[in-house]
């Protein structure tokens, strides 16, 4: 442990999930204090877990105010939560327009509001690092052959939303740069989560490194971008994808 994040107060949304929990574990190993804002969390006295629905403006406001009241500042934010509708995964021709609208609202729009509210507390102290979690499918179109033989597909809203998050991050890097606030994006490739063996085999046969990603492939980059080691890096979208976007 090198204590690269010593004394830093860092919020991770969706920290109870697969990627979020590993990112939090790595932040803690590096000496940071992490606040897991998750709809499935139960609020603790030190706010290491803080129940928050990122699709609800009032819940966001209340949660951020709790952090500021207790700790007075926010040094880092990892926007990682991934809310979605129950019909997520429908094929393009079967997507109801109301479902499309709701996913854009709960994912993209909630990211915007969270970023806006957290950055308000970073601007006065002229310091902060923000990471938005995107995807390789915000960079390139899906290869639908990896889903052959399965019931899986790549939802259209996912590509649209993740692409928007990448460019919103570039906008904010430019806008917040004069205040010494850095904004970067991490775009993971496929992360193994006990998917269909057919899908895993299809994916691994295509990706240059011949394996799916793991949460521990992602979390070290998050720590680096939150730390002062990356103090001159902003506006970047970094793919951690085993070479997927290289081919």
- Tens digit of each residue's pLDDT (9 = 90 or more) over 28-61: 999 999 999 999 999 999 999 999 999 999 999 9
Q: What is the pLDDT of residue 155?
A: 94
Q: So which residues are the catalytic ones?
A: 158
Q: What is the pLDDT of residue 169?
A: 98
For the chain, state the CA radius of gyration.
18
How does pLDDT run across 129-153, given as a tens digit for each residue? 999 999 999 999 999 999 999 999 9
DSSP state of 88: T
Quick one: which H or E segment has residue 13? strand 9-13
Between CA 16 and CA 28 the distance in angstroms is 14
- Closest by CA to 17, choosing from 37, 47, 46, 31, is 37
Q: What is the pLDDT of residue 219?
A: 97
Q: What is the pLDDT of residue 29?
A: 96
Task: With a cut of 50, list the residues of the chain below it in pLDDT.
Answer: none
Between CA 245 and CA 139 the distance in angstroms is 8
Domains and CATH numbers, the chain: 9-240 (3.40.50.720)
Strands 237-240, 181-188: parallel, antiparallel or unpaired by DSSP? parallel
Q: What is the pLDDT of residue 1?
A: 58
What stretches of the chain show up as alpha helix (H) in DSSP? 18-29, 57-71, 97-103, 110-122, 156-176, 197-206, 215-226
Q: What is the dihedral of CA 185, 244, 25, 20, to 10 degrees?
A: 60
pTM: 0.96
């Amino acid at each position: 442990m090198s204590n690269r994040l010593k004394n830093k107060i860092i919020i991770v949304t969706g920290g109870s999930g697969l990627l979020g929990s590993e990112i939090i574990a790595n932040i803690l190993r590096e000496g940071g204090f992490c606040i897991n804002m998750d709809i499935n969390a139960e609020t603790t006295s030190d706010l290491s877990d803080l129940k928050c629905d990122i699709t609800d403006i009032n819940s966001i406001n209340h949660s951020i105010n709790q952090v500021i009241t207790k700790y007075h500042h926010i040094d880092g934010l990892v926007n990682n939560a991934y809310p979605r509708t129950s019909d997520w995964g429908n094929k393009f021709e079967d997507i109801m327009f109301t479902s499309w609208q709701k996913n854009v609202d709960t994912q993209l729009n909630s990211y915007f509001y969270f970023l806006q509210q957290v950055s308000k507390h970073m601007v006065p102290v002229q310091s902060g690092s923000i990471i938005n979690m995107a995807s390789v499918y915000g960079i390139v179109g899906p290869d639908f052959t990896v889903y052959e033989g399965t019931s899986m597909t790549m939802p259209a809203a996912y590509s649209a939303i993740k692409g928007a998050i990448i460019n919103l991050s570039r906008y904010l890097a430019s806008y917040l740069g004069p205040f010494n606030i850095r904004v970067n994006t991490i775009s993971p490739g496929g992360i193994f989560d006990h998917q269909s063996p057919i899908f895993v085999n299809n994916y691994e046969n295509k990706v240059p490194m011949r394996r799916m990603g793991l949460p521990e492939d992602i979390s070290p980059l998050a720590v680096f971008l939150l730390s002062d080691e990356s103090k001159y890096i902003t506006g970047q979208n970094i793919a951690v994808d085993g070479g997927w976007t290289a081919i």
